[in-house]
Structure 1
Amino acid sequence: MPRLILLACFLLVPAQAQAQSCSSSVSNVNFGNVDTLSGAAADTTATVNISCNGGPLGANFRVCLNINAGTGGATSGTRHMRNATSAALDYNLYQEAARITKWGSREQPALGNPVAVNLTALPLTTAMATRTIYARVSGSQQSAAAGLYTSSFSGSQVSFNWTTYLFTPPACGSVTQNPVRPSFMAQANVVNNCNVTAQNINFGSHGVLDAAADAAGAVGVTCTPGTTYNVGLNNGLSGTGPTARRMMLGGQAVTYGLYMDAARSQPWGGTIGTDTFAGTGAGATQNLPVYGRVPAQSTPSPGTYTDTVVVTVTY
């Protein structure tokens, strides 16, 4: 009697290979050094990396990238980074390089909508995608003090939810399952800076220099809040000291001095700690009067006498 031999082959697929899954990572939003004193906005970017495993059957994935306010919080749709004293620096995250469409989440729609990503992974393959976060520190924040500002994103602050679908991807408002929570940080270092302007001093016209002639000008100093500074005035083109500056016409000179006070008792020179003006920035222009005096002296030939004094702000 013939015998039948039954052969069976069982293929075992590891459990982990059967599961469909997605993972993500986000690079830090690092603005580096930011000069808020200029009033200009500062831009940077970060990158979101997405990877979805199709398992043995493959799948279409809808990934919804929800980013909340971060630990710095938000006000009226504007995110904040905060310094050591909890002072705020305003910024936001956007979906495109023009920085018009904000990047937010279904949980905090005032920040904007989440970004939706569709991927198709073939059986036993992984589909990958990247998205760029376009970030901007808002302009017109001259009152921000110098220092490091940060906001952290982790846990409930980030929810990259995903699901599979057959034909039509679901709206991100309904995708709440499978949260992936990568961590990243937003940070900016507001640097110390100062700007300076100067107003000329005109002593006017005089027939003879037999009495003191006074006039005044001003120096405008704008520094980042909290920045300590010193304003020095050099001795001009040919002077030998704060009260021995010289306005020249050819080889002839008119001696004059510059002072920090209306009484003309505090000469204004360029040696820090001795005869310079010391101040602290407030983010707005601080106008410093400069008092000039031409003392009585021998009168040189008629004409226009001039000098150039260099203003130096040290901070």
Structure 2
Amino acid sequence: MLRSIALLLVLLLPSLCAAQSCSFTATDMNFGAVDTLSGTPVNSTSTINVSCSGGVLDLGKRLLICPNIGAGSGGASSSAARQMVNGASSLNYQLYSDSGRSLIWGSSTWSYPSRAPAYALTMALLNGSLVGATGSMTVYGSALGSPPTAAPGGYTSNFTSPDTSFYYSYSSATSCASPSGTVGTASFSVNASVAANCLVNVQNVDFGTQGVLRTNVDATGSITATCTPGTTYTISLNGGTASAAPTARKMSKGTETVTYGLYKDTNRSQPWGDANTPGSTVAGSGTGAGQLLTVYGRVPPQTTPSPGIYEDTVVVTLTY
């Protein structure tokens, strides 16, 4: 009788299946001080770092990353403006994928047209033995210097999941219009500050061409004060080149002069001066919009000097 037996040989090998795992970190974006009255944009950047690992069969494969960035906790007023917030006040800014700040960095999960940029890495040997890929993406930001109604203070928008849904998969696609795959995330914040600030503009007082100064000659000018909301200010007018009292300022031509006064009211009863004349300055509180203040001028009856052009320079000081 013949008997036989089978010998089962088993060899256990590590898995060679294709797989990948990516982790992400992001740095905060800080714009610093933003001047909302001049409307001048302030630029800053953030960096998204990515580190991926895989198996032997992943070597040489193209990894597509779609780093969606949504509206953040501050929201977005439109596709053109994300917002940082300070209480009920908002400050506009935007995130871009290019240094020229023309391509808005969006998300496949928000309601606006802009999408995330496609970012590709190639899986390679790291440190001679591990298969993986590392890289970084720059997020370009611009605080838009608007709206002028933004109150002074610190502004923030925070980005966490799902505002940072970073899809990644092996793919030859070049667009992130409809990303798929595994989702990673990263947290970061966008910050800025608005300082109390004021701007001032003036329109001259021109009394025109006059003959004999036997009656009052009235004219007006204006001062426009534009201050951040809630910023209190005081406007004073000095005594001109003669350092005179508010109602005894002097326009001059050589050694000859014409006396005039500047006032806060249309009746020319409230002189407008500076700290040298208590109670003669004008106070206000900013709204973010220009506030027009009329300067009432008067040349009273007086001895008429020789014909010519008589001028004076008054310094307008806005203190806040």
Q: TM-score, normalised by structure 2?
A: 0.83
Moved more, 146-155 or 263-272: 263-272
In structure 2, C-alpha distance between the alignment counterparts of 1:192 and 1:90, rounded to whole Å: 17
Kept in 2: contact 1:80–1:88 (CA 8 A): no
Q: Distance in 1 between matches of 2:286 and 2:178?
A: 50
Summarize the Cα distance change of 1:37–1:111 in structure 2 as closer, same or farther, 3 Å threshold: farther
Give, in whole Å, the separation in 1 of the partners of 2:54 and 2:310: 84
Q: How many residues align?
A: 301
Helix, strand or coil at the partner of 2:266: coil
Correspondence 1:307 to 2:307: no
Residues 302 and 171 (structure 1), Cα distance of their counterparts in 2 relative to 1, 3 Å cut: closer
Residue pair 1:78, 1:90 contacting (<8 A) in 2 also: no
Cα shift at 1:306 = 0.8
Pick the aligned partner of 2:122 from 116, 120, 127: 120
2:6 is aligned to: none
Is 2:108 the counterpart of 1:103?
no
What's the CA shift for 1:75? 3.5
Task: Tell me if the contact between 1:50 and 1:130 (Cα under 8 Å) persists in the aligned partners.
Answer: yes
Does the 8 Å contact 1:68/1:111 carry over to 2?
no
CA spacing shift, 1:120–1:245, aligned 2, 3 Å: same
**Alignment match, 1:231:** 235
Say if 1:95 and 1:133, in contact at 8 Å, map to a contact too: yes
Find the counterpart in structure 1 of residue 8 from structure 2: none
Instruction: Give the one of 132, 135, 142 matched to 1:129.
Output: 135
Letter in 1 for 2:46: A
Q: Point out where structure 1 has 5 or more consecutive residues left out of the alignment.
A: 1-9
Return the alpha-carbon distance in structure 2 between the equivalents of residues 217 and 173 of structure 1.
58
Deviation at 1:183, TM superposition (A): 0.8
Within 2, Cα distance between the matches of 1:304 and 1:174?
A: 73
Q: Which moved more, 1:190-199 or 1:227-236?
A: 190-199
Retained in 2: the 8 A contact 1:72–1:79?
Answer: no
Corresponding position: 1:93 with 2:124: no
Distance, in Å, in 2 between the alignment partners of 1:241 and 1:262 is 19
- Cα drift, residue 158 of structure 1: 0.9
Q: Are the equivalent residues in 1 in contact too, given 2:213–2:302 (CA < 8 A)?
A: yes
* 1:157-168 map, 5 Å: 157-164=163-170, 168=172
Is 1:145 the counterpart of 2:155? The answer is no
SS in 2 for 1:83: strand
Determine helix, strand or coil for the equivalent of 1:237. Answer: helix
Offset of residue 109 of structure 1: 5.1
The CA deviation at 1:97 is 2.0
Residues 259-304 of structure 1, C-alpha deviation per residue, up to 9 Å, x if partnerless?
1011112111122973211112222222111111222333333322
Paired position in structure 1 for 2:287: 282
- Aligned with 2:212: secondary structure? coil
3-state SS of 1:156 partner: coil
Matches within 5 A, 1:231-270: 231-270=235-274
2: distance between equivalents of 1:302 and 1:175? 81
Q: Distance in 1 between matches of 2:253 and 2:307?
A: 9
1:77 paired with 2:79, answer yes
Deviation at 1:244, TM superposition (A): 2.0
Aligned equivalent of 1:292: 297
1:40-55 superposed matches below 5 A:
40-55=40-55
Instruction: Give the Cα–Cα distance (whole angstroms) in 2 for the partners of residues 185 and 151 of structure 1.
Output: 6
Q: Which residue matches 1:209?
A: 213
